Amino acid sequence: MRRAQSVYSLLFMPRSIVPPFAAVEACCSLGERKLFANAIASTYSAAEWNRRWWSASSPSASTSSTSVKVGLAGALSFSLAMSTAVVAKERPPPELLPKEVVLYQYEACPFCNKVKAYLDYHDIPYKVVEVNPFGKKEIKWSDYKKVPILVVDGEQLNDSSVIIDELTRRIHVDNSIVDEEEMKWRRWVDEHLVYVLSPNIYRSTSEAFESFEYITTHGNFSFTERLTAKYAGAAVMYMVSKKLKKKHGITDERAALYEAAQTWTKALDGRDFLGGSKPNLADLAVFGVLRPIRYLKAGRDMVENTNIGEWYQRMEAAVGESSRLPV
Ligand SMILES: N[C@@H](CCC(=O)N[C@@H](CS)C(=O)NCC(=O)O)C(=O)O
């Protein structure tokens, strides 16, 4: 795990190549669905977005007439609503809820998004402090210099998996059962899935721009940093992503993404979630790291070309509204 994490950091932070963009590279994926909706509002109307989603979920929908599409989308929407309505969020007993939770993060960081998916699903309210990746002055007080850092009632927790394990230990009344399958897939997320994302979101120059547009819009950058990161960052990451591909033996990044999505879908083995009728920590981890890319081209392609869409939609419904507190 340790090894994988440090390799990951190096992977996304070839400082020798682009020192100023270290953090941007480290966080190869891109922010929450809700926030992203604003970013893409100028590109897709809600109706257009729905159309894309549903035509992706159902091959027949994309080839049929508009009216059939609308009808099918409605029917699918309805049946999905029916099938997801029963999945309630898991709320910890109020007496176990922490009183104050602060997440130090980069909006686009996959590890931070894993933690957010966990907090959202468990309805644990949290404040967010967006760290400026250039100076990191927001975490000057900490010896640990990566994000996420979660401060729970004044206590600092570092590293996404440690944070999730520790919160689970605290809020779950019965957490004695070790689920090997869940652990295996959580490791798969940290050791495999995250590595496939970066080459995909910086795959072409236009995708690199799309990614940096989001990163720089939602991260904590000054005006000048934003401009520099956006243009130079996109160009650099386009090139760096080619190196990353090679380093991880990826020949076709999209094929690797689709394969990962199909591998995950296969692991579900007909269940709604890996956890059965409700998500477990592996479901939340996969969802957390995919959520930021879902509405980028890579994520759209993934949904259109694999069977992951229905599970993803169930997860969106199960995780529900974010419990992030307004500042
Ligand atoms: N194993 C850690 C990895 C955290 C990590 O690598 N975070 C990146 C951001 S995605 C980071 O903070 N890199 C250091 C930097 O930006 O300088 C975890 O799971 O939380």
More confident residue, 257 or 235: 257
Q: Mean pLDDT in the chain?
A: 78
- For residue 86, what pLDDT is reported? 56
How much is the average pLDDT of 48-75?
34
- For residue 128, what pLDDT is reported? 96
- Which of 111, 138, 188 to mutate to test ligand 1, by most ligand atoms within 8 A of the CB atom? 111
pLDDT band at 307 (very low <50, low <70, confident <90, very high): very high
Active-site pick, 106, 126, 238, 258: 106
* d(C-alpha 215, C-alpha 231), whole Å: 12
How much is the average pLDDT of 30-42?
33
**Pair of tokens at residue 188:** 């798969």
pLDDT band at 65 (very low <50, low <70, confident <90, very high): very low
Is the pLDDT at 280 greater than 70? The verdict is yes
Active-site pick, 111, 121, 209, 238: 111
Q: Which of 216, 300, 228 is nearest to 48 (CA)?
A: 300
Least confident of 37-51, 134-148, 274-288: 37-51
Active-site pick, 12, 21, 36, 112: 112
More confident residue, 3 or 280: 280
- For residue 309, what pLDDT is reported? 98
pLDDT band at 187 (very low <50, low <70, confident <90, very high): very high
Is the pLDDT at 112 greater than 70? The verdict is yes
How much is the average pLDDT of 244-257?
92
pLDDT band at 325 (very low <50, low <70, confident <90, very high): very high
Q: 92 C-alpha vs ligand 1 centroid, how far in Å?
A: 28
* d(C-alpha 152, C-alpha 131), whole Å: 17
pLDDT tens profile 6-15: 222 322 333 3
Is the pLDDT at 183 greater than 90? The verdict is yes
* d(C-alpha 80, C-alpha 78), whole Å: 5
Least confident of 37-41, 176-180, 212-216, 278-282: 37-41
- For residue 2, what pLDDT is reported? 36
HSE-CB for 40 with a 13 A CA cutoff = 23
Is the pLDDT at 164 greater than 50? The verdict is yes
Q: Which of 236, 224, 239 is nearest to 134 (CA)?
A: 224
The minimum-distance atom of ligand 1 relative to the CA of 109 is 10
125 backbone dihedrals φ, ψ, rounded to 5°: -65, 140
| Radius of gyration over every alpha carbon of the chain, rounded to an integer in angstroms | 19
CATH placement of domain 2-41+180-319? 1.20.1050.10
Q: 74 C-alpha vs ligand 1 centroid, how far in Å?
A: 41
Is residue 106 among the annotated active site residues?
A: yes
Q: Which of 272, 273, 243, 248 is nearest to 259 (CA)?
A: 248
Is the pLDDT at 286 greater than 90? The verdict is yes
Highest mean pLDDT: which of 75-79, 225-229, 270-274?
270-274
How much is the average pLDDT of 195-213?
90
3 state DSSP class of 85: helix
Share of the chain above pLDDT 70, in %: 73
Domain ranges for the chain = 2-41+180-319, 94-171
pTM (2 d.p.):
0.76
User: Is the fold of 2-41+180-319 the same as that of 94-171?
Assistant: no
Q: Which CATH number fits domain 94-171: 3.40.50.300, 3.40.30.10, 3.40.109.10, 3.65.10.10?
A: 3.40.30.10
Is the pLDDT at 191 greater than 80? The verdict is yes
Look at ligand 1, atom 12, and give the residue with the nearest C-alpha.
146
- For residue 28, what pLDDT is reported? 38
How much is the average pLDDT of 231-260?
89
**Pair of tokens at residue 139:** 């975490």
